[in-house]
Amino acid sequence: MSLMSLTAVELGKKIKAKEVTVTEAVTAALDAIEAKEKKVNSFVTVDREGALKRAEEVQKMIDEGTLTGPLAGVPVAIKDNMCTKDLLTTCSSKILYNFKPTYTAEAVENLEKAGAVIIGKTNMDEFAMGSTTETSAYGATKNPWNEAHVPGGSSGGSCAAVAAEECSYALGSDTGGSIRQPSSFCGVTGIKPTYGTVSRYGLIAYGSSLDQIGPIAKDVTDCATILEAIASYDKKDSTSIARDDLKFTDALVDDVKGLKIGIPRDYFGEGLDPEVKEAVLNAAKVLEEKGAVVEEFDLSLVEYAIPAYYVIACAEASSNLARFDGVKYGYRAKEYEGLHNMYKKTRSEGFGPEVKRRIMLGSFVLSSGYYDAYYLKALRTKALIKKVFDEAFAKYDVILGPAAPTTAPKLGESLSDPIKMYLGDIYTISVNLAGLPGISLPCGKDSNGLPIGLQLIGDCFKEKNIIRAAYAFEQTREYEHSPLA
């Protein structure tokens, strides 16, 4: 059995027990990347030299007893929008083709303190804008279950790398479902924590009020363990929250007796694939048989989530991306006349079409005369959506639904119709608007053999409820390795 077939926690135990060296684990990951990358294209940068050097350092610390955590020595891949000191960080965009940060993102630093070994940076939709990992300047990532299909996005590279077993686990970021939707498409598990739980310092911003870093792995145990390692209060991030209890692994108990689970009727209407609906409702039945109290209820305002999200996210993106102008770092146009022309040509040549579309949309909704009509209205809608969830969580511990309306579409299908791509985020977006935690985990496959994801949503700071429910469900089924694994 390949070392990459193990979960991150299992591999960590073997390293601690001296059954495997850190160098052997890292070499196994690097060899897997070499063997599979032509088919998957899940990495933008692979740092073989740096990873092997770091493996020796980590091994030494494990031997000395200074590193004792469950992730010590385990190889990890990082989404390419998190800064890594002296290692290329491109956001899968031409405009940052040569950017090597001078510092490391706080979440990544926390992983390094836990003894993780970074093997490379994963492909993504350019600046995290997209749901298929096809808007990347480095070409599309393929789904390890079927290479003719997309892996989802924007964390498609991270999810595909875990599903193809090129790394033990990965970090992704979630602005409107960018961890949960590709996890669903790739048959892996991903958590989007409560907003403010993981520091955004060093995460290249898309929508600052929505972005959150989270783990992607083979199972719930790994995700809870990784989340425990990366979650921390950080005074460098003004939105970071000091939480008393970050022991997420305490929730790994196979017991859901008395847990109240609500199923929104609105999530099971028009547009939901019948096979996805059946698999998700079967998962609800499994939890009910294990002792959970499952009921249907009405969650209103669902249809307003997508327009509110795209107005807010694009407004924030147009502001955040103004800094990429060719002056201090990144790409600069070769020929230009004067400063304004340099800005214009650099941004025209450096950004891809989806990023330009969202910058234009964001600039429009923030412009005078439209600010009140669109942006303020979207913020009010966001507050109403949060209120609706507050009311739901007064009755329920967990909300259960699909992670995406369909399984992974074919490559090329979504980009031809951006609106269709935006509508694919219908079940994930509200979670970001309300700052809630959510988890996606595999719950079956469709008739084409593509994975189906189950989404569990919790109230703010109640990750333990969704981890507990997800873990209990996971105990009823085996992890399925993708054909490329």
Q: Are 460 and 296 in contact (CB under 8 A)?
A: no
Query: Token match 């511990």: residue?
Result: 397
Question: Which residues are paired to 203 by β-bridges?
Answer: 82
Backbone angles phi, psi at 277, to 5 degrees: -55, -45
CA pseudo-torsion sign 192, 197, 198, 202: positive
Q: Hey, is 26 helix, strand or coil?
A: helix
Among 154, 414, 440, 482, the one annotated catalytic: 154
155 belongs to the catalytic site: no
* Interatomic CA distance for residues 222 and 373, integer angstroms: 44
Q: Would you call 173 a catalytic residue per the annotation? A: no
Helix (H, G, I), strand (E, B) or coil at 418: helix
| CA-derived radius of gyration, the chain | 21
Q: What is the DSSP letter of 478?
A: P
> In the numeric block, which tokens belong to residue 57?
């350092």
Q: Is 289 left (phi over 0), alpha (psi -120 to 50) or beta?
A: alpha
Tokens of 411: 């490559």
Identify the active-site residue in 36, 42, 79, 92: 79
Cα gap 471→464, rounded to integer Å: 10
Strands 43-46 and 117-122, bridge-based pairing = antiparallel
Dihedral sign of CA atoms 20, 21, 23, 25 in order:
positive
Question: Residue 398 is inside which H or E element, if any?
Answer: strand 398-402
Q: Is 238 in the active site?
A: no
* Catalytic residue from among 178, 199, 240, 430: 178
Q: Are 182 and 453 a contacting pair, CB within 8 Å?
A: no
**Alpha-carbon 226 to chain mean position:** 13
Q: Helix, strand, or coil here: 177?
A: coil
How far is the C-alpha of 79 from the C-alpha of 427, rounded, in Å?
23
Q: CB neighbours of 32 closer than 8 A, spacing ≥ 6? A: 2, 4, 164, 165, 166, 167
Catalytic residue list: 79, 154, 178
